[in-house]
Chains A and B, each alone.
Chain A
Amino acid sequence: MNSLLMKVPIFYRLFGPKEDSRNAARERLKTALVGDRQTVAPQLMTCLQKDIEECTAKYLRADKESAIYKIVDKDGKMTLKMEIPILRINRQKDLPEEALREEREEESIELKLHGTKLRRRRKKKKADHESQED
């Protein structure tokens, strides 16, 4: 059967093994184009990295030396891969005000109430103490 397949092209085409190269072409092309599109703008990664560094500096001190910025192919999709080791998060006074704001309005009210209760209790304690002394 096999020799017949090899000898007669029409049989091979009809009954031979089915080869699929379309998907290989598609995937290989997509990967190649990731690299191609980057080279179109040689300074793209440098500029992007600089902008991201400026942005992250508002929140934390990054280890710039060992940071990794890369455009990679992930399941056929271009993906920006970043790995930025953090030396430390900024102190409160160096963080943007927005980052310090409480997330939910109710929560802050609760906190405030809690605070008043505490203060009241302390006041009461203090008053009791003073009255005892008297």
Chain B
Amino acid sequence: MGKVIVVTSGKGGVGKTTATANIGAGLASQGHSVVLIDTDIGLRNLDLVLGLENRIVFDLVDVVEGKCRSFRQALIKDKRFENLHILASAQSREKDAVKPAQMKKLCTELKDAFDYIILDCPAGIEMGFKNAIAGADEAIVVTNPEVSAVRDADRIVGLLEAAEIDTIRLILNRVKPGLIQRGQMLSVEDVQDILSIELLGQVPEDERIVHSSNKGEPAILDGKSRAGMAYRNIVARILDPAVPMVSPQASIWAKLRRVFTADLGAQVG
């Protein structure tokens, strides 16, 4: 019996799709069978991030409407991991083309066939969100250490709790340790204190993420990527909650700068 996890955030652009792609690839690389579903109807993206955009024949709406024989016909197999599949969203349809009951039914069917079903939720709290959480057992809330993203995440946590999804875990994305040290960014502790949900992991801001999505390859495969390293830790923690969390460290330059400013402070004082 598989597990359905929805990746959601409220605010757009915080890294939901990247998180979904990397967690999916990570779980598949550990030998688990995984389906990723892009539930953002009209704004298809997950396929592009994973480099599978040219292989879509059927999409989510086709499956729900019964236009293909079974969901298997619509699943796209990943090139790198044979255990990883994606179900693309419909690009030319409206948000209300799918109903929560239909999503729930699809999730139930997929649970019998796969270990993990990961849903990439659209931004917002409307129909797309309701569809994505309808069949979910657990939720991962992605947010950034910024006031607007945290506020939206709080709203999402409230809605998830109201929908009786009990396991809600947080990924803090785009963390800049240097900025936090200088007191110019909310820290992991601040965000956790405000949202009061369990922290699954923290991902540092990393320019190589852009590089990875440019190529259509998950960052988790990039040995040089600090974000990829963070996602490997997150995957390990999904599989075994006892695995300790890795915190992003400030770069050497940030540390050096701190030494300088501290010296200056000492002189002035």
User: Which residues of A come within 8 Å of B, CB atoms?
Assistant: 13-15, 18-23, 25-26, 28-30, 32-33, 36-37, 40
Contact = CB atoms under 8 A, between A and B. Distances in A.
Contacts of B190: 22, 25-26
B266 to A, nearest CB: 13
Nearest to A23: B183
A32 B146 CA distance: 13
Contact of A26 (B162, B184, B186): B186
- Chain A interface SS verdict (over half): helix
Nearest to B265: A18
Interface size class of B (residues with CB under 8 A): 20 to 34
A29 B151 contact: yes
Chain B interface mostly helix, strand, loop or mixed?
helix
Contact of B186 (A22, A33, A37): A22
A32 B257 contact: no
A22 B184 contact: yes
Nearest to B264: A15
A123 B184 CA distance: 84
| Nearest 4 CB-CB pairings of A with B | A20-B183, A22-B183, A26-B190, A40-B158
Contacts of A22: 180, 183-187, 190
Contacts, number: 54
A54 B74 CA distance: 59
A82 B132 CA distance: 40
Contacts of B260: 14-15
17 contacts: A14-B257, A14-B264, A15-B260, A19-B184, A20-B183, A21-B184, A22-B180, A22-B183, A22-B184, A25-B185, A26-B186, A28-B147, A29-B150, A32-B151, A36-B151, A37-B154, A40-B162
Given A29-B147, A36-B154, 11 more contacts: A14-B260, A21-B184, A21-B185, A22-B187, A23-B183, A25-B146, A26-B190, A29-B151, A32-B147, A33-B151, A40-B155
Nearest to B158: A40
B214 interface: no
B255 interface: no
Interface in B179-201: 180, 182-187, 190, 194
Given A37-B158, A40-B158, A18 B180 contact: no
A22 B180 CA distance: 8
Contacts of A19: 183-184
Contact of B182 (A18, A25, A26, A28): A18
Nearest to A28: B147
